[in-house]
């Protein structure tokens, strides 16, 4: 019988990871998503909780693209428009 070490995300307990660093990255992404959702809720009060969560997660998953867009490379967002990324 082999022993396998797995890591559980503290913010998403259903997700298991084989690598601690990967679990940590996932937790940090979810933390960022939560903060983004709070900011969006304040900016656009008409969004429901599911929309806020989805938008926050999307932006957090693609934060590198948004960061480039905010650093005078607005064309970086075309990557998201061209791709089949959820």
Establish if 51 belongs to a structural domain.
yes
Q: What is the CATH number of the domain that holds 77?
A: 1.10.10.710
Number of folded domains that form the chain? 1
- Burial class of 44 by CB neighbour count within 10 A (0 to 12, 13 to 18, 19+): exposed
Residue 86 has pLDDT above 70, yes or no: no
Establish if 1 belongs to a structural domain.
no
Q: Which of 61, 14, 13 is nearest to 33 (CA)?
A: 61
pTM score: 0.81
Beta carbons of 40 and 60 less than 8 angstroms apart: no
What pLDDT digit, counting tens, does each position of 3-28 carry? 888 898 888 888 889 999 999 999 99
Determine the structural domain holding residue 68 and report its residue range: 24-82
Establish if 67 belongs to a structural domain.
yes
Q: Which residues touch 31 (CB under 8 Å, ≥6 apart)?
A: 11
Establish if 72 belongs to a structural domain.
yes
Beta carbons of 11 and 31 less than 8 angstroms apart: yes
Establish if 42 belongs to a structural domain.
yes
According to DSSP, the residues that pair with 8 across neighbouring strands are 16
Establish if 19 belongs to a structural domain.
no
Establish if 41 belongs to a structural domain.
yes
């Amino acid at each position: 019988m082999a022993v396998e070490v797995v890591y559980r995300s503290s913010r998403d307990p259903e997700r298991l990871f084989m690598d601690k660093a990967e679990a940590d990255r996932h937790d940090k992404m979810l933390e960022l998503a939560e903060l983004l959702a709070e900011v969006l809720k304040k900016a656009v009060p008409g969004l429901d909780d599911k929309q806020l969560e989805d938008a926050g997660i999307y932006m957090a998953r693609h934060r590198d693209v948004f960061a480039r867009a905010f650093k005078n490379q607005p064309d970086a967002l075309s990557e998201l428009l061209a791709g089949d990324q959820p």
